[in-house]
Amino acid sequence: MSERSERTSQHSAQTGKQIVRPYGDTTGDGMVQVSFTLPVTHDKRAEGAAVQLANKMGIDPAMVVHAKPMGDGFTFFVVYGRVNHLVDLNAVQVVERDFALLSAKDVNTVIKQRLRRKLSVVGACIGTDAHTVGIDAILNVKGIAGEKGLEYYRELKVTNMGAQVSVPELVETARAEKADAVLVSQVVTQRDAHLHNTREMSAAFREAMPAGRRPLLIVGGPRFDETMTDELGVDRIFGRGTTPGEVASYLVHALITQRKAMA
């Protein structure tokens, strides 16, 4: 361990903070690897531009370890180098899971005994988003990675509207199906399309239904920030790696367990 890394570790122990640096070849060496595309033709000048950008990002020294043309006038780069930034783990803010993970059997039991009817779920990809892999992984019976989707749960009534669903269509279907929850998957994120679509959806439901009759609004996708629920007007945001079991457990928590406790 270098003298600097040792001083950092000692300081962390004394202050009670958890301070870490990136790891590359040796612990605490600060080495990182980043990738990006520049709108330039691949040549020596382009590689120099990539190094300059990396330097401005705080990577110094920086080395281009991979460069490949990406069509006419574009180059993809991978840059490796050192940063001096420290991370305080105690200052990291994340959304922790605040509900118990239930088995499919337990989810069905709670719904049957406490709700005494099937729990209605409507899912869709809204706007121009045609990527159904996310919503299908959660809703379809085949699920993902060996875990069955919500269609497998006998006490859930699932309506999968598929891709490129307009917000008015989603609202009307939710109304017709008497949805307890609406699940929206957004994969397309260019120009923050996922954020614009989500805000449009939440505004439409607020306008169409009074607070006591609105379904639970849940969105998910790889580039959502899970802390933005209030800003986007939804009840929950799920990020990458979410499983059907997590979603089912949350539905039970939010629609049955939590509401019963508040009654």
Cα 170 from Cα 123, distance rounded (Å) = 8
CA angle 242, 244, 247 (to 5 degrees): 75
Do 59 and 50 touch, CB atoms closer than 8 A?
no
Residues 6+ apart with CB under 8 A from 130: 163, 164, 188
Cα 206 from Cα 215, distance rounded (Å) = 10
Please indicate whether residue 17 is annotated as part of the active site.
Answer: no
Question: Cβ atoms within 10 A of the Cβ of 207, count?
Answer: 8
Displacement of CA 115 from its chain's centroid (Å): 29
Q: Which of 68, 105, 142, 260 is catalytic?
A: 142
Do 218 and 236 touch, CB atoms closer than 8 A?
yes
Task: Catalogue the active-site residues.
Answer: 142
